[in-house]
Amino acid sequence: MSRRTVLILAVTCAVAVGNIYFPQAIAPLVAAGLHVSPDSAAAVVTATQAGYTAGMVLLVPLGDRLPHRSFLVVLLALTGLALLSAGCAPTLPTLIGAGTLVGLTTVGAQIVGPLAAGLVAADRQGAVIGTLLSGSTGGMLLARTFSGTLGEWLGWRAPYLVAAVLALLLATVLAFAVPTTTPSSRQPYTALLAEPLRLLRTEPDLRRSCFYQATVFAGFSAVWTCLALLLTGPAYGLGAQAVGMIALVGAATMVCTPLAGRLVDRYGPDPVNLVCMLGVLVSAAILTAGARGGALGLISLTLGTLLLDVAMQSGMVANQVRVYALRVYARSRLNTAYMTCAYLGGSAGSWLGTRVWGQAGWWGVCGLVALLAALALARHLLALSKFGERAGADQAPSMLQYSSPTRDTDG
């Protein structure tokens, strides 16, 4: 796969992921434009996220059943039409319905990952997956900034309409730029939907990868959910824009994830996971100093969130390389299981974080992050010890290669 194709696929990830996040920045503008309360307008964001969750479960497994190029083109075209409908919505219920469809169909990033893994050699998968993840991160960050600025200038409909044009243009580009692939499965749709659960039951490496990402992402979500409460509280007395400024440090992951991918290609996913889990523990220690307030506390929060972001995203690269190597004919179904577990972990982390904050404040949130990282680290050390015992009895298994059939013909 050429660098040009990798770049196009990274842009696809950016556009797809950006469609989930840009409504967050314009919710107040929607409230003013449609003359509804801010709480009612926030339902658009919730609907988009709910649609995205449904899309991961209902549509992503089809990546093993349908040709990737045509599937991506159709998804982006449907996303573009849904965005157009949202941009022209006359009422809030119509906008909520269109937002749900946007979330449902904007799952292209979860199709691109398995596609790219099948187009590159095993020793380049980490670097490519890291680049794609950089695209997703860039889309998340830029979408919020761009939509907020554009919405202030031209109204809340403008970000939806511009996003629609981008999605439709990208669908046209992908129709010519993505290589032709052959579907790896002939299973009927109902069997594909059930397959992620079966894979979770039968694949130990999938389960541990899901556990790693769910725990680390839970800690990540707890921190970012409670950071706004800390910064706007008595310790700092800052505005919400301070959270946005600190969030910009996440742009560093756009550089770090391709590097992490190259390290995975060289050393395997397990050593990278180990370093990332230790990084999360260190970040929790650094973040505790943020409870003091003042300039020193703000520096600690900035450095701690930067390390946490890099560790979480780099660990995701390692996990996805491991997961995609398990069964080459079921990568989309494997990705469905993995991303659903990660997303559920993040949601649980946000819920736990707010409750810990209410009982123990910022110190408690940092303790929660450390506990979650320690659980992931304990599970990982157990896996490494088992690998060591197996190596002593026979020979060390490769961390990148797994023997598996190349086609799924069940059903």
Report residue 408: phi and psi, to 5°. -110, 115
Amino acid identity of residue 210, one-letter, is C
Complete DSSP assignment for 168-234: HHHHHHHHHHSPP---SB---HHHHHHHHHHHHHH-HHHHHHHHHHHHHHHHHHHHHHHHHHHHTST
What pLDDT digit, counting tens, does each position of 336-360 carry?
999 999 988 988 888 898 899 989 9
Tokens of 44: 């658009």
Q: What is the pLDDT of residue 400?
A: 44
% pLDDT > 70, the chain: 92
How many residues does this entry show for the chain?
Answer: 411
- Residue 408 DSSP class: B
Q: What is the pLDDT of residue 240?
A: 56
State the virtual CA torsion across 134, 135, 136, 139 in degrees, nearest 10: 120
Kindly report the average pLDDT of the chain as a whole number. 87
Q: Examine the pLDDT at 168 and tell me if it is beyond 90.
A: yes
Beta carbons within 8 Å of 127's beta carbon, 6+ residues apart? 258, 261, 262, 265
Q: What is the pLDDT of residue 396?
A: 44
- Name which residue leads in pLDDT, 31 or 253: 31
394 vs 146: CA distance, rounded Å:
55
Amino acid identity of residue 102, one-letter, is V
Amino acid identity of residue 405, one-letter, is P
CATH topology of domain 190-394: Growth Hormone; Chain: A; (1.20.1250)
188 vs 410: CA distance, rounded Å:
9
391 vs 397: CA distance, rounded Å:
7
404: left (phi over 0), alpha (psi -120 to 50) or beta: beta
Residue 102 binned pLDDT confidence (cut-offs 50, 70, 90): very high
Contact 331/403 with Cβ under 8 angstroms?
no
Residue whose token pair is 């520096």 = 299
Q: What is the pLDDT of residue 105?
A: 95
Q: Examine the pLDDT at 410 and tell me if it is beyond 60.
A: no
Beta carbons within 8 Å of 259's beta carbon, 6+ residues apart? 130
Q: To which CATH superfamily is domain 1-174 assigned?
A: MFS general substrate transporter like domains (1.20.1250.20)
Amino acid identity of residue 346, one-letter, is G
Domain residue limits, the chain: 1-174, 190-394
Residues 374-398 have a mean pLDDT of: 75
**Using alpha carbons only, what angle is made at residue 170 by residues 169 and 171, rounded to the nearest 5 degrees?**
90
Report residue 187: phi and psi, to 5°. -65, 150
222 vs 255: CA distance, rounded Å:
24
